[in-house]
Structure 1
Amino acid sequence: MTWIIVLFLLLCSAFLSGEEAAFLAFSDIRIQTLVSQGNKAAVVVKRLKANLRKLLGTLLLGQTFCDIAASSIATYTATKAFGSLGIGLVTGALTLLVLIIGNLIPKSLAAHHPDRWTLRAAGFLEFVMKTLGPVISGIDRLVGLFVDTKTAASFVSEDEIKTMAAMGAQAGTVEKLEKEMIDRVFLFNDITAEDVMTPKENMILLDGEKTVTEVIPLTNAAKFSRYPVFLSQKDNIVGIIHIKDIYEKFSEVTEKPLSETKVKEIMKNVIFIPETKLIGDLFREFQKHRMHQAVVVNEYGTVTGLVTLEDLIEELVGEISDETDVDENIIKRVDKYTIVVHGDIELRHVNRFFNTNIGAEGHKTLSRHILEVLGSIPAEGHKLDLTESVQAIIEQGDSRRISKVRLVKKAEATKPE
């Protein structure tokens, strides 16, 4: 009968040890999902995990009591039967049993099936925790004299969420696109306006002094929806005009003909932002002012580019192409070891497509990287090594910019097929 009691205490210790592992392994996200599905046991589990420190204290107290009681009873019984020799036998045997039966086996099982362990025992554990509540609270206050227990709360970090998304993608429970969007969300507040803007060199500007009819050929050719408006000189941007504002003028019946209506008369106000402005803040500013674009300036107040709401959204969902976008074949593969790319392509796209490691990725463009390496604008035909295995040849450009670049994998090209 005595050994049956010892075995019962060991099983109780194993149960409590398994519950400890199960509650630690049971994710809050899974619990919340079950709660939303109407699982009553999950509601109890959620309450218990909300006071996890007290729950763990209850489990550890019960487990310690069972281990000590089992050890004491077994030692007393063995001593009566075998004398002093029984102490050594019981100590060795009980230590092994507590380790295997009381810890390793239950914790391993519970960690693999935390939902089964926690949901089935939730009601009983809540009753035990309430019963031992005064004892646990007293111990907690005693510990609080030496340790600040209020800072013990744990929160899911950004890295943990990204890791969970990556693991979900590998397991097939999270779509690749969903995983990429999660990564983009966390990068969103680390990206500046300079990283996503359209450079000034690529902007199509309208002269505010010109008439609406005079700019129509330019807007038809460019096929953009919004155009910055300047007065006197291109650095003096004073507004933005939407293509629909121009078309609306065609449908309006006014005394002043379009041939006499100047662009500056129908333009809208524009906001100016520094290059260093984070796009997360800019996104909220666009929402607040109900605007879709902003002009980017450097520390000297010189215009350096234009950023639109679409640019920001693309950082979350990827490239967006509308019905007016033209496929410019930004990357063209010539052969296995050669590609031709536009100068304003971002390094990250080149590295991903060509399986290379050129420069520090981020949002830096290939042309900017080449300019930083050379310190000057190269002429057409100029060759330079970007890495030990990748050579760049300037295919097209002028005295102001690099338009097209040919990239060749030197080392790969010399390998035999």
Structure 2
Amino acid sequence: MGSNGSLVVILLLIAASAFFSVSEIALASARRVRLQQLADEGDTRAARVLAVQSNPGDWFAVVQIGQNMVAILGGVVGEGALTPTIARLLAGVLPAGGVEPVAFALSFAAITSAFILFSDLMPKRLALAEPERWALRVLAPMRAAMTLLKPVVWLFNGLASHLMRAAGVREQPDDAVTHADILAMTAAGTQAGVVHAQEQQVIENVFELDTRTVESAMTPRSRIVHFLQDDDAAVITARIAQQPHATYLVCEGNIDHVVGCVDASDLFVRVLRNEPIALQGEPAKGLLRKVLMIPDRLTLSEVLTQFRQAHEDFAVIVNEYSLVVGVITLNDVMSTVMGSLVDPGDEEQIVRREDGSWLMDGLTPVGDMVRALGADPEALPQRGQYDTLAGFLMVLLRRIPRRTDRAEWAGFRFEVLDVDSYRIDQVMVTEVK
């Protein structure tokens, strides 16, 4: 075969090798979600690619057989493809004894470089840039090659399967999409500018509903505005004017004996109609309604389920001793998910100061604290035993924190700035240098 014929063969081998490189990377990198979208839109090729991805053994066997055959043929043909031409060019420059070795080395380097660049690097980069598009393009010729080489593929696949089973290695990929996978994709989308930072935070908050307990979003006992059954109309209207809310607890004697709840809107209707306002006896009929009671160990996800089943948006939280520890509304849960998107005017629980320190409310959820500090949640002491920054400090100090108390964790110093009746109001967090 002449030099021109050898060069033509080498170009064909480079093209074949490039085809197999694209086929390998495209199938491995094609996103199943995107392929499923194309299949749902009526692209039958996408459905076939999905089927191949579920059982890719034959595909990759053909790729490896093709690439090895091309490599062997390339070595045979390329050995003398450029050597004579280069030797003629070097005949008048080098001594006679050194022409052949140098010509062979230069020919080998040129052929190898051409294969690396045009049959490996460039095709694989193209396939990585648009894997779904290239997977659809190479599907038909690869299916033909799989049919043509079926006996050889069957032999090598059988041997490979036996060796995989003997080694105890899984053959089928795990296609389950986990929470971590979704969060990783949204984080990548945020870095690429496709997903807004607030949208990513909302997605993270949604997944935290299964781990956050109701205590992290409730209104605590000390802040509950409630009525007693024997309160008269003047007391009720005055309290509504001073501390307006949508729903109020109604209790008998004290807050731990809940008899129901009343909506402020119903009270306003009574006032507008000049009807008597009372929370017991005959006037209370149609005004007082039953209240949903839930345990304090529920997660926010379970609270949403309770609201949906009971068709309620307000609940009282009790502990194992049947004492009221707080109340929670549907809006509280949604505020946890949406964050500042619900009401940007709300006072933030975490404020970054100019000197780099943080000012945090004692009721700040531990997850928000860890996220703000960029700390490792796995390093939290006695995880799961508390939900707020106040509880976290109680675990660190092993007592009820007092003003000016300090504790250190994970390279951060926590200093209690204000305590109100044993309740931690504000904590300053600084990084320990």
**2:17 corresponds to which of 5, 9, 13:** 13
Q: How does 1:208-247 map to 2 (within 5 A)?
A: 208-212=229-233, 214-247=235-268
Q: Which residue of 1 aligns with 2:318?
A: 297
**2:123 corresponds to which of 94, 106, 118:** 106
Are residues 1:188 and 2:209 paired? yes
CA offset digits 1:69-119 (Å, max 9, x no partner): 656777999xxxxxxx99xx89x8888876665444432332234345334
Partners of 2:151 and 2:431 in 1: CA distance: 74
Q: Which residue of 2 aligns with 1:82?
A: none
CA offset digits 1:253-312 (Å, max 9, x no partner): 87xx33576658622222222222121122122112211122222223322111211121
Q: Which residue of 2 aligns with 1:392?
A: 415
Q: How does 1:362-373 map to 2 (within 5 A)?
A: 364-373=387-396
Q: How does 1:69-148 map to 2 (within 5 A)?
A: 102-129=119-146
CA offset digits 1:157-191 (Å, max 9, x no partner): 32222122112111212111111122122222111
CA offset digits 1:315-358 (Å, max 9, x no partner): 22114666xx9856867899858887654345666787799999
Q: Which amino acid aligns with 1:181?
A: V
Partners of 2:216 and 2:365 within 8 A in 1: no
Deviates most, 118-127 or 139-148? 139-148
So what's the TM-score if we normalise by structure 2? 0.71
Partners of 2:70 and 2:120 in 1: CA distance: 13
**2:294 corresponds to which of 273, 282, 300:** 273
Query: 1:133/1:193 Cα in 2 relative to 1: closer, same or farther (>3 Å)?
Result: farther
Q: How does 1:214-363 map to 2 (within 5 A)?
A: 214-251=235-272, 257-258=276-277, 266-319=287-340, 336=355, 342-346=361-365, 360=380
So what's the TM-score if we normalise by structure 1? 0.73
Deviates most, 345-354 or 187-196? 345-354
Query: 1:141/1:121 Cα in 2 relative to 1: closer, same or farther (>3 Å)?
Result: same
Name the SS of the counterpart of 1:17 in structure 2.
helix
Partners of 1:141 and 1:366 in 2: CA distance: 58
Partners of 1:213 and 1:141 in 2: CA distance: 87
Partners of 1:49 and 1:185 in 2: CA distance: 31
Query: How far off is 1:371 after superposition?
Result: 4.3
Q: Which amino acid aligns with 2:277?
A: L
Partners of 2:346 and 2:274 in 1: CA distance: 37
Q: Which amino acid aligns with 1:344?
A: L
Query: How far off is 1:21 after superposition?
Result: 0.8
Q: Which residue of 2 aligns with 1:415?
A: none
Query: How far off is 1:154 after superposition?
Result: 2.4
Aligned Cα RMSD in Å? 4.6
Name the SS of the counterpart of 2:181 in structure 1.
helix
Partners of 1:210 and 1:405 in 2: CA distance: 34
Query: How far off is 1:386 after superposition?
Result: 3.4
Name the SS of the counterpart of 2:305 in structure 1.
helix
Which runs of no fewer than 5 residues in structure 1 stay unpaired? 78-84, 413-417
CA offset digits 1:346-390 (Å, max 9, x no partner): 5666787799999959984444444445555566xx422234875
Query: 1:177/1:307 Cα in 2 relative to 1: closer, same or farther (>3 Å)?
Result: same
Q: Which amino acid aligns with 2:194?
A: T
Q: Which amino acid aligns with 1:267?
A: L
Q: Which amino acid aligns with 1:55?
A: W
Query: 1:249/1:157 Cα in 2 relative to 1: closer, same or farther (>3 Å)?
Result: same
Query: 1:131/1:284 Cα in 2 relative to 1: closer, same or farther (>3 Å)?
Result: farther
Name the SS of the counterpart of 1:318 in structure 2.
helix
Partners of 2:21 and 2:36 in 1: CA distance: 24
Query: 1:226/1:131 Cα in 2 relative to 1: closer, same or farther (>3 Å)?
Result: farther
Partners of 1:208 and 1:263 within 8 A in 2: no
Which runs of no fewer than 5 residues in structure 2 stay unpaired? 82-99
Number of equivalent positions: 396
Q: Which amino acid aligns with 1:401?
A: R
Q: Which residue of 1 aligns with 2:30?
A: 26
Partners of 1:383 and 1:391 within 8 A in 2: no
Query: 1:318/1:14 Cα in 2 relative to 1: closer, same or farther (>3 Å)?
Result: same
Partners of 1:169 and 1:217 in 2: CA distance: 49
Q: Which amino acid aligns with 2:363?
A: D
Partners of 2:267 and 2:277 within 8 A in 1: no
Q: Which amino acid aligns with 1:249?
A: R
